Structure 1
Amino acid sequence: MVDARPRMVRAADGRQLVASASVIAEPGLGCPPGSRITLPSGRTATALTVADHTAPGLPVPACTEVMCE
């Protein structure tokens, strides 16, 4: 799933950046910050932050969230 709305994110080094898209993918996605990603629109983006989300005990799926420049 791709959401192309801009959002403020904080990079690992503490800088505040504007992410132009967020990508929700399967859990355990191997996509470190700095990786190049081709979005469904064909645009190439760079991963700013990557977060794995889990909710043990809740009826929601685990996922990986990638915020892109």
Structure 2
Amino acid sequence: SGMLQRIKYVVALYHQPRVLVFDEPTANLDEEGSGVIYDMIEREIKNRLVIIATNETEELRFGTKHVDVS
């Protein structure tokens, strides 16, 4: 569920990792849930390496480098 996804992200961020890996972070979320996740990612990407595997073009805005593996 969307709430479970949010809890997982909060737990992961609690440990303040230097690298964040997201595999389709907004899969199965509604627009509101996706917005919450996008806001969280945007806040947390400073001073970290963030890797996002996604099919959502909106999530590309978080990257400075993109790799297309299609």
The interval holding the TM-score normalised by the smaller chain is under 0.3
Larger Rg, first or second structure (1 or 2):
1
Task: Return the structure number with greater strand share.
Answer: 1
**TM-score where L is the length of structure 2:** 0.22
